[in-house]
Chain A
Amino acid sequence: MGRTRQWLRRLRGHPRVIVGGVILLLVTFLAVFAPVLAPHDPTSQRLELSMQRRVAGFPLGTDEFGRCIWSRLLYGARISLSVGMVAVGIGATIGGFLGLVAGLWGGRLDSIVMRLMDVMLAIPGILLAIAIVAALGPGMFNVMVAVGVSSVPAYARLVRGSVLVVRETEYIEAVRALGARMGRIAARHVVPNIFAPVMVVASMQMGSAILAAAGLSFLGLGAQPPTPEWGTMLSRGREFLRVAPHIPTYPGLAIFVTVIGFNFIGDGLRDLLDPRLKL
């Protein structure tokens, strides 16, 4: 209890974490309870009600097929949040592992891993993701893989950099002198000490991953209609910008608010956990 209270007291000085947290709790709540909260089936069409901005029973109006935009947004939140989590999971796990190995073992392994990361960084992230998804084929899972893989170098570099600092500390020297093996040192002593910067970057990357995935869907490479994915909704809705601007406006707003939530948390956490990282 004492610890929780201490944390809450620390949070009080960081309103951004609180605002971001509230936004994300709300989005998660809406996503989890989408089947209960959605007034309509996200894919059921009522063509006689198409492109209505205000119509009874449809809180945010209807799209070109008379589908309920609010219901589609709620289900879309599930997709976007999962995309963020899976993509960040892939990037942080692979990148983190590569960075850890490169930083701890050093030498040739380090050079090989880091040159590979240089090569990946030479292709702008979104273009690399587009290339990967083009090779794997369109679809939401492939988008998650593509976005995750294209973020691997960011984690690898960050973790390697942090490991290099931690490796030289006296406590690592001490456990080494005690004869601990490399694997144990990595798991018990290095990883917990580089957790803070990885957390900060991961929460920021959640926002970027959601943006990138929505961008790929916007280009027609991600979720396919009639899936209620925000990027796809926006992409379809842009054709009706002149006659029914509300159709592309709401999904864009949903992406924007969710990404802001993650960035608020990331920014706030950075200040909270490690003021030295402050940009």
Chain B
Amino acid sequence: MGAYVAGRLLHVLPVVIGVSLLVFLIGHLTPGDPVALMFGLEAGADPELMASIRRELGLDQPLHIQYLRFLGGLARGDLGRSIRTGDKVVREIQARLPATAELALSALLISVAIGVTAGVISAAYRNSGFDYASTFGALFGVSVPAFWLGLMLMYFLAVRVPLFPVSGRAMPLVQALGLSLTGEFWQFGMAARHLVLPAITLGLPSAALVARLTRSAMLEVLGQDYVRTARAKGLGERTVLYRHALRNAMIPVVTMVGLQFGFLLGGAVITESVFAWPGIGRLVVQAIQQRDFPLAQGIVMIVALIFVLVNLLVDLAYGALDPRVRYR
């Protein structure tokens, strides 16, 4: 297992360096001078002020020096300062990341709960009415535009029937949980109600993918000899399904769920914009609209790092779940 872990870590390092180079290059693809763009190309911007900002951001240096400084900063946990606010990019991300994590994790929970349940039932009752309904539901789920689904949920469940708030975030769920322990239960209810619609919007399309994969993985496992053996020795269908089939079918699903987390972080950009959810997804769109490139670059970099880390953890979990992987 040690060699496997070391191998995976060695694989991750070049990817991280490559991602930093890619993100850096994309940031510097922008035609024109970012400082001039920041001033909105207004005539009359003080050239000395612009030159000093350029110097401060290191933009007067050759490209490779700028990249090495970016990489060095990244290693020290320093992603520069936002052009608009002057605050440290890392601090801005830190302030917004918990909201995105809360949203993405809730969406992941919805996606796994619905996806795995629907996938298992579909496989167990293959070609039944439920199977057809679930297969079509999954196809609809992957085809629906998230921003539209969000607006429709908002219209029907927040505007027409005001079950949930239209948008925004009340407070961090963890904080609300703490308050509810001191007797203020309504705080938790309020925080959770704000989270429901964005989490469903983000989680449903992903649930569709998980359902499809779970179904196919279960069908494959159910055809294996050891499942036939389990049935032949007289085990109940439920035991066969959950003890023998589901456990083995979960291996590809775990990988998929890891990948889904990355897609959820990406999808959060749109969902957060629909529901005015104060996370990094909305922040990156604002940064791009305001041409705050250090902030935008920093967010893309951090999301990529989280994604790489989650995939590494999934790979390690995969190795722990399935001994065959370790010796491949």
Contacts and interface: CB of A to CB of B under 8 A. Distances in A.
B300 A123 contact: yes
A46 interface: no
B296 interface: yes
A175 to B, nearest CB: 31
Interface in B133-186: 139-140, 142-148, 151-152, 154-155, 159
Contacts of B270: 126, 215, 218-219
Interface in A183-217: 207, 211, 214-215
B62 to A, nearest CB: 19
B143 A116 contact: no
B266 A115 contact: no
Nearest to B18: A119
Nearest to A150: B266
Contacts of A235: 147
Interface stretch (A60-68, A90-98, A247-255): A247-255
B139 A260 contact: yes
A278 interface: yes
Contact of B145 (A136, A255, A278): A255
Given A122-B15, A132-B26, A127 B266 contact: yes
Given A131-B300, A219-B270, A252 B152 contact: yes
A275 interface: no
Contacts, number: 141
Which range holds the interface residue count of chain A?
35 or more
A115 B14 contact: yes
Interface string B9-44: 000001110110111001101110000000000000
B313 interface: no
A267 interface: yes
A130 interface: yes
A120 B19 CA distance: 7
Given A218-B270, A263-B139, A124 B145 contact: no
Given A115-B15, A130-B269, A123 B303 contact: yes
A263 B26 CA distance: 31
B143 A207 contact: yes
Interface in A229-276: 231, 234-235, 238, 241-242, 245, 248-249, 251-253, 255-256, 259-260, 263-264, 267
Given A255-B148, A259-B143, A242 B18 contact: no
B249 interface: no
Nearest to B21: A119
A126 B269 contact: yes
Main secondary structure of the interface of A (DSSP, over half): helix
Nearest to A116: B18
A1 interface: no
Contacts of B245: none
Contact of B151 (A119, A134, A252): A252
Contacts of A178: none
Interface string A74-87: 00000000000000
A131 B145 contact: no
Interface in A39-76: none
Contacts of A123: 19, 22-23, 300, 303-304, 307
A27 interface: no
Interface string A93-134: 000000000000000000000011011101111111011101
A253 B145 CA distance: 9
A221 B288 CA distance: 9
Nearest to A125: B266
Contacts of B99: none
Contacts of A219: 269-270, 273, 285
Contact of A127 (B139, B140, B212, B265): B265
7 contacts: A119-B18, A122-B19, A122-B307, A122-B311, A124-B303, A127-B303, A241-B151
Given A124-B262, A218-B273, A220-B285, 6 more contacts: A116-B18, A123-B307, A131-B300, A132-B29, A215-B147, A255-B148
Interface of B: 14-16, 18-19, 21-23, 26-27, 29-31, 139-140, 142-148, 151-152, 154-155, 159, 212-213, 215-216, 262-263, 265-267, 269-270, 273-274, 284-285, 288-289, 296, 300, 303-304, 307-308, 311
